[in-house]
Amino acid sequence: MKLLVKVLLLAIAVAMLSGLAIGQNRAIPQKAAVSEQASAPALKDSRMFPLEDLRPGMKGTARTVFSGTEPEDFGVEILGVMPGFPGPRQSAIIARLSGANVQKTGVFGGMSGSPVYIDGRLVGAIAFSFPFSKEPIAGITPIKQMIDIFERGANQTQRPKEPRAVSFAQLASTDWKPGLPKPAVGSATLIAPVSQGSGLLPLIGQQMIPIATPVVFGGISQESLAMFAPQLIANGLLPVSGAGGSAAMTPMGKATEKTLTPGTSVSVQLVRGDYSIAASGTVTFRDTDQIYAFGHPFLSLGASDMPMSESSVVTVISNVNNSFKLSIPGTMMGSISQDRAAGIYGQLGQSPKMIPVKINLRTSRDRSETFSYEIANDSFLTPLLLNITVFNTITSSERGLGESTITIKGAINVKGQEPIELDRRFSAFNSPIMAAGSVAAPIGSLMGSGFDDVQIEGITLDISSTDTKYAGTLERIALNKTEARRGETIEIQAYVRTESGKQFVQRIPVQIPEDATPGQLLAFVGDGGALQEGSGARSFVPQDLGQLVRAINKVKKSDRLYVKLFRITPGAVIGTSEMPNLPPSMVATLNSDRNSGGYTPTVLSAVYEMELPPAEFVISGQQLIALDIVP
């Protein structure tokens, strides 16, 4: 009987505890429960070695490619963990590397992302080094940090961007400057980047820094690399070789279980085709179709869209400063969609959106060549890559320095918009640089405009070059009469002198507008650059992409003369539109005490404008002359 009572009491107690547990489980918010269930597999993933279980003296293996395509193992000994590096709530694992290959090369460029294993479980990616270290000491990014940074915010929708102000001087510029997100650095190739003027510069060998990412330039001459080296190094692109051939524009390859496995070499292609620019590193982890690599940022671009390719390693170049891989990109297998603090992330089978470029070059020796390639679609990288490749295309067949005349015609095709027409001519000592910059400038304005719907479908350029300089200066202008009636045609003589001292006269017929108001007009004759500089429309915020495209097409050309008649009367410029001859009531409204800004007042109102056909010479300069309109 007593035994039966004890059994009943025990059953009641178990039932009460079970009910309490059920009640508590019901009290847990559903969102938290889902989050806990979602995070449980990651926390208990048997493939990962927990950071907290690491101890000094533990030994494991790492894997990377030293030659060809097959990874090779080398030894790793854990020395300790550095909390708070490279950022708050982050850690880096310090380890000593060993093995015949590593003893010869040390920690080298292209090793970034090499997976480290202990007891068959993944610890992280080799990502940091100490420059000039006598031993192969490396820093390892824990694998959990790499995965977490790409999982956080993966499902967040991006907020629409705001359009940015655009200046006409920027649209017409030939001196384009890159604006990559990385700050300027002072460094030698493959040496730790340190901010210019930093007090840490003397301690450059005492810092643990990301392993430099070797970028191989194929088809790019040493002269072109030397020309753009300051821009490249200052923005994190470290050219380690001008060697290498073109990279074929291959279709998407079919992934198998052997594609981009941990330890294999991976290339991030920035340019492919007749030119090849590719950064190489090592795959850390593959999770179905997701690829994690590098263990540190490539360019810190954030969201990106660049081809991810298999690659083969020619060899590892042992170097006194820092060794590096010399690799060749292979078949495209997917795209890199994220470039952040703990590495890069890509997906197999996902096609990147590249921008096709076709250049038809006619040289001074009457030879024709065609170059076809694709460049990465990125607001920061695209103008820089286009600048380099266009410059290299010209200088590969023509002189890079010295007097020359270069003509560029072509089109930039933007989806859903009218084509952007390019028609520029340069005759100067540095014509190739100016020509390349004139193409990069409108691309930079388009991709940096802040509009989400900018899709460049292709760029086509026809470039011709001569070794002779054809340039002249507008010395003076004259009128065949100083008085004219409305509707009458007058003649302006433009006197141009070439650098050889010869003078020629360009006769320009100008018809006075039928609605011209009697009084004095000012006749302007000058090159497009001078006219643009004197315009009241200096900058504007485009309302939509179409307005920006139209503004780019309206930019004055600096290689030819323009005639413009002005009347001295109040006017205004609103956005890209000139509003001449405003009635007094409109001027009073704009200048009202209740209004401020939104327009640019002008004292010269345009009544007539004409673009002249390009002459034999590239003419520069400007002149003004007065003309009276009589009833």
For the cut 70, the answer to whether the pLDDT of residue 259 exceeds it is yes
Domains present along the chain, CATH in parentheses: 51-150 (2.40.10.10), 166-180+209-352 (no CATH), 355-466 (no CATH), 471-630 (no CATH)
pLDDT tier for residue 597 given thresholds of 50, 70 and 90: low
The region, left, alpha or beta by phi > 0 then psi within -120 to 50, assigned to residue 62 is beta
pLDDT of residue 6: 46
Of all residues in the chain, the percent with pLDDT exceeding 70 is 75
What whole-number distance in Å separates Cα of residue 331 and Cα of residue 345? 18
Residue tagged 């018809």 (tokens): 511
The whole-number average pLDDT for the span 432-440 is 91
At 46, phi and psi to the nearest 5?
-70, -10
**Do 303 and 313 contact (CB within 8 A), yes or no?**
no
- How do residues 26-35 score in pLDDT, each as one tens digit? 333 333 333 3
What whole-number distance in Å separates Cα of residue 411 and Cα of residue 504? 33
The whole-number average pLDDT for the span 509-520 is 90
pLDDT of residue 201: 47
Burial class (CB in 10 A: 0-12, 13-18, 19+), 420: buried
What whole-number distance in Å separates Cα of residue 281 and Cα of residue 513? 66
* Local structure of 381: helix, strand or coil: helix
At 411, phi and psi to the nearest 5?
-150, 145
Q: What is the pTM of this model?
A: 0.80
pLDDT of residue 37: 36
The answer for residues whose C-beta is within 8 angstroms of residue 581's C-beta and 6 or more apart is 517, 567, 569, 571, 605, 607
On average, the pLDDT of the chain sits at 81
Give the residue among 571, 581, 578 at the shortest CA–CA distance from 515. Answer: 581
DSSP secondary structure string, 544-590? SHHHHHHHHHTPPPTTSEEEEEEEEEEEEEETTEEE-S--HHHHHHH
Q: Write the CA distances from 311 to 65, 281, 326, 475, integer angstroms.
A: 10, 9, 10, 59
- What Rg, from alpha-carbon coordinates, does the chain have? 32
Lowest mean pLDDT among 99-103, 181-185, 430-434: 181-185
Lowest mean pLDDT among 109-118, 578-587, 618-627: 578-587
Give the best-scoring range by mean pLDDT among 278-287, 388-397, 463-472: 278-287
pLDDT of residue 569: 73
What whole-number distance in Å separates Cα of residue 280 and Cα of residue 269? 9
pLDDT of residue 515: 87
